[in-house]
Amino acid sequence: MVVSDRVHENLRKHRKMPLPELIDMSINQTIVRTTLTQFTVFLALIPLVIFGGEVIRSFTIAMTFGCFVGMYSSIIVNGPILINFGLKSA
């Protein structure tokens, strides 16, 4: 969502820039924030996996997997999807 919002903002600022370059620039602008946010979430989830009870452990493992998938899709999958759907400039 953050990458898509940044692409939308950059579409308004850089109307003449080719779409693949604009998406690459948007991902580069948000990659540090996305990575640090996910790292912080993992720091909170690791103690829950290790010290949490049996009931919360399975939920925490599923949440950790979901965070990995979310980070992957936000950084790597989002750009090609925007290009394949034919994003139009504003």
Q: Does 15 fall in a domain?
A: yes
Model confidence band, residue 28 (pLDDT cutoffs 50, 70, 90): very high
| Tens digits of residue pLDDT in 61-86 | 999 999 999 999 988 898 888 888 87
In a domain, residue 75? The reply is: yes
Q: Provide the residue range defining the domain that includes 53.
A: 2-84
Q: Are 56 and 48 in contact (CB under 8 A)?
A: yes
d(CA 73, CA 56): 25
Residue 49 has pLDDT above 60, yes or no: yes
Confidence bin at 45 (pLDDT 50/70/90):
very high
| Any domain includes 90 | no
Tell me if 64 is assigned to some domain: yes
Overall domain count for the chain? 1
Question: Percentage of the chain with pLDDT > 90?
Answer: 56
Cα–Cα separations (whole angstroms), residue 80 to 9, 65, 70: 18, 22, 15
Tokens of 40: 């912080």
Q: For residue 31, name the pLDDT band (cuts at 50, 70, 90).
A: very high
- What pLDDT is attached to residue 89? 56
In a domain, 49, yes or no: yes
